Amino acid sequence: ALAQTSASTEEIAAPVPDAAAPVTSSYGASTANTELNVISLPALKEPFKEAVPEAGYVFVTGAKGDEWTLRENRRAMEDFRIVTHRLTGVSADQLDLSVEILGQRMPFPFFVAPMGAHQMTHEEGEVATARGAGMAGALYCSSGASNRTLEEIAQATTGPKWFQLYFNQDEAVTKSLLRRAKDAGYSAIVLTADALGPGTPDRFRAMGMPFRSDMSFGNHDPAKGGSGDFFAQKVDLTPDDIRMIKDETGLPVIVKGILRAEDVDPIISGGADAIQVSNHGGRQIDGVPGAISVLPLVVRAVDGRVPVIMDSGIRRGIDVIRALAMGADCVAVGRPVMYGLGVGGAPGVKSVLEALAAELRSDMLLTGARSVAELDPSYISVTGPSAEMQEG
């Protein structure tokens, strides 16, 4: 009795380890599988904390260094004030939220950002996330750093899908990933240009970088047709690397992680079919501007030659409106999708995406625009630090 009073409930309730059971269950990631009543995407952060291991929560929610860029992604949204149109005669049934990017029709102008290591959050990993995206009809961008294989993920979703490449130093490994992605039916390749590896929030490092010991980078698992070392990433990328991806796959290439107008010309000359403005959710280098702040500068440099995608800080329907009005063709959503995965598994992911779509729908009606195409900079008044950045 004495021992029991001093032990935590968790210790008492911990199951006896079963030698025959897969090691995965000992990490205690979520096994949730339920639709969610999503009040808002940010409101899911607390339930997410309760649903997943501490390590998963810190890894997903954290960012680099002082996390200034993480906060700035949200603060800078406030610099973009929405200037509503009235008496435009738009009704709910006329409202068109669909977009077409690189030949891919999407039911709404956002998709699931590539994120690695979903088994830190949910036992099923990316297979559940992709299934949930498919249930909502949303495009799923599969991370090169997934725990499950790109083939398992491709089979799990009924929706459109892109593959995000972490370019390997070993060209044979990179080419093998590209061939597999093409064979599995991915319709575009996202080349991430702004990352050195997994995010390393200070708190995650202080915990000793507790990645689950049984975690694998599925795409590199030799038992599942993979090869090479995930961590052997090529960091010295140049625009020439875009051509190789195109030659190898014949698929459109999106370059992700662009924050600077001067980078646009060489990337388009190199053959990029789209540009993704992103600061990786503040997870790679701190101190860079909010993604929304630089979006207008990049859009101006692109000048309509290729589509522009934006991510980092999208949480609300009004954020989607802000980005589209400033010239993005669509946006990607990161962490909130992971909240849905942790709290509700595949149906939770569906709930998150549908909640954002519902919010966007009513926000669009109140903005006065009839379609995504109708949104333009006249709907926005740029203020504060972001306005100063547009002058330079």
Ligand X SMILES: O=C(O)C(=O)c1ccccc1
Provide the binding-site residues for ligand X, judged by CB under 6 A. Answer: 116-117, 145, 195, 197-199, 280, 283
Cβ closer to ligand FMN: 151 or 374? Answer: 151
Q: How far is the CB of 230 from ligand X (least distance, A)?
A: 7
113 binds, among ligand X, ligand FMN, none (CB under 5 to 8 A by kind): ligand FMN
Q: How far is the CB of 357 from ligand X (least distance, A)?
A: 25
CB-hemisphere CA count at 13 Å for 350? 16
Cβ closer to ligand FMN: 281 or 296? Answer: 281
Q: Residue 330: phi, psi to the nearest 5?
A: -165, 175
Q: How far is the CB of 63 from ligand X (least distance, A)?
A: 9
Terminal Cα-to-Cα distance of the chain (whole angstroms): 70
Cβ closer to ligand X: 149 or 351? Answer: 149
Burial class for 290, CB neighbours closer than 10 Å (0-12, 13-18, 19+): buried
314 binds, among ligand X, ligand FMN, none (CB under 5 to 8 A by kind): ligand FMN
> What amino acid positions are annotated as catalytic residues?
280
- Measured CA to CA in angstroms, residue 201 lies from 65, 232, 280, 315 at distances of 7, 21, 13, 21
Cβ closer to ligand X: 116 or 160? Answer: 116
334 binds, among ligand FMN, ligand X, none (CB under 5 to 8 A by kind): ligand FMN
Nearest residue to ligand X, scored by beta-carbon proximity:
116
Q: How far is the CB of 193 from ligand X (least distance, A)?
A: 12
Cβ closer to ligand X: 144 or 347? Answer: 144
Instruction: Please state, in angstroms and rounded to a whole number, the distance separating the CA atoms of residues 27 and 198.
Output: 19
Residue numbers at the binding site for ligand FMN (CB under 6 A): 60, 73, 113-116, 143, 145, 164, 192, 256, 278, 280-281, 283, 311-314, 333-335, 338
176 binds, among ligand X, ligand FMN, none (CB under 5 to 8 A by kind): none
Residues 6+ apart with CB under 8 A from 139: 104, 106, 111, 112, 133, 159, 160, 161, 162
Q: Which residues are annotated as a binding site for glyoxylate?
A: 166, 280, 283
The bridge status of strand 308-311 relative to strand 330-333 is parallel
Instruction: Please state, in angstroms and rounded to a whole number, the distance separating the CA atoms of residues 291 and 41.
Output: 19
- Measured CA to CA in angstroms, residue 4 lies from 11, 12, 13 at distances of 9, 7, 11
Q: How far is the CB of 229 from ligand FMN (least distance, A)?
A: 16
Cβ of 385: how many Cβ atoms within 10 Å? 14
